[in-house]
Amino acid sequence: MWSWLSATEYSRGKQEHRRRQDVIIMAPASLILLAATVILQVDLLPDKKFLLLPPVNFTIKAINLAQVLLRWEPNTDQEQRNVQLGYHVKINAPQEEDYETRNTESRRITILHKGFSASVQTVPWNDRSLQPSSWVSAELKAPPGSPGTSIVNLTCTTNTKANNYTHLRPYQVSLHCTWLVGKGAPEDTQYFLYYRYGSWTEECQEYSKDTLQRNIACWFPRTFINSKGRDSLAVYVNGSSEEAAIKPFDELFALHAIDRVNPPAKVTAEIEGTCLSIQWEKPVSAFPVHCFDYEVKIYNTRKGYFQTEKMTTNTFISIIDGISEYSIQVRAAVSSACRAGGPSSEWSQPIYVGNNEQKPWTKWFLIAVTATICFILLIFSLICRTCHLWTKLFPPVPAPKSNIKEFFVTINYEKTCSGETEIEVISYVEEDGSETLEDSVF
């Protein structure tokens, strides 16, 4: 009995000793984990004493036509913590805009004739629990110039033509801009236009002038504009005068909005029975075939109604009545799958098909024949009236004789001369088909 109790107590004592050893071994590891947890929680908790400082040396500089560079530096007094910093930029003028970036500079495309101003602040990039810094601002003043001297109503269009001089650029883009003279501009004002596309800047060399020899339009036969590009086109117009400082003007154009698409090429049509088949080629353009939408207009000249159809292919087939003449036109537009939507092209020149198709000389011949016939009839009518030819050709039919045998007509008139009265009586007596005139003067 005592042996069994001793063995049991000994076993329990051994297990308790092992537990104490395990606790002693695990205690340091638990303390390390607890300390790490506390440190991590401290880092994650918002620190009200940790403040973000605004950037310094914020500047705005015009680096090109309608392009500015915003630049700033991190605050050197900013306390270093395990927090990633970014910047919130707010454009105040000429058009409000805001965005975030981790860079310390930013390029913006914008008009500058109204001036430019912006603000920037420091923000936590990955920890929104921290409050952003205060704002710092900078401004680029509007260029000087007398009010009302800058141009107004600036409009520009581009057009693509085939370039037969080089295979590197099979298409060339022309640019045409027009404007009106400012109401406050002196008569000796002269304007000058520049455009920028990407990194290319070019001054106009071909101007159109008004009656006072002031430039009011510009033509670039060839430009560095990429008709398939998505960059904005910047146009800048300044001026000079001996009487006043001319205020400059600039504007941004989206290429898809000002591109004048060419009409479809080589439009053909043919009729087989009651089937009308129309075909055409894509316009002269840098865009491939699949980038165009088309609209076909068919006009029935006999019935006087239009039919329009939209499609994405360059072939159209329709059923017609087979007895009418048809006028056919096609226009094109660049599909939204290839760029932002823009205006359609002009209609192609009309072509005519159908049974009533007439050549121009046939119409003039009919007009000439009709005029000749009318002229001959007019001359014949005048001759008949002058020569009484109509009466001779068609004499009047005599009227039937009256049953009255005697018809007297008496004309009485009185003449007063030297106190005498003269009376003349004229009597007509009709007897047996003969007429006898008797004059009696009393």
Edge-to-edge strand list for the sheet holding 215-220: 152-162, 171-180, 215-220, 207-209
Give the tens place of pLDDT for each residue, 188-241.
999 999 999 999 999 999 999 999 999 999 999 999 999 899 899 999 999 999
Distances (CA, A) of 285 to 170, 195, 349, 357: 9, 22, 18, 33
| Residue 81 and residue 55 in contact, taking contact as beta carbons nearer than 8 Å | no
Tens digit of each residue's pLDDT (9 = 90 or more) over 266-311: 999 999 888 999 999 999 999 999 999 999 999 998 888 889 999 9
Q: Spell out, as residue ranges, where the chain has pLDDT lower than 50.
A: 1-8, 10, 23, 38-47, 357, 359, 404-442
CB < 8 Å & 24+ apart, contacts of 14-23: none
* CA nearest neighbour of 133 among 55, 72, 74, 79: 55
What is the pLDDT at residue 394? Answer: 62
Residue pair 363/281 in contact by the 8 Å Cβ criterion:
no
Closest C-alpha among 247, 264, 250, 234 to residue 143 = 247
> How many Cβ atoms are within 10 Å of 38's Cβ, its own excluded?
10
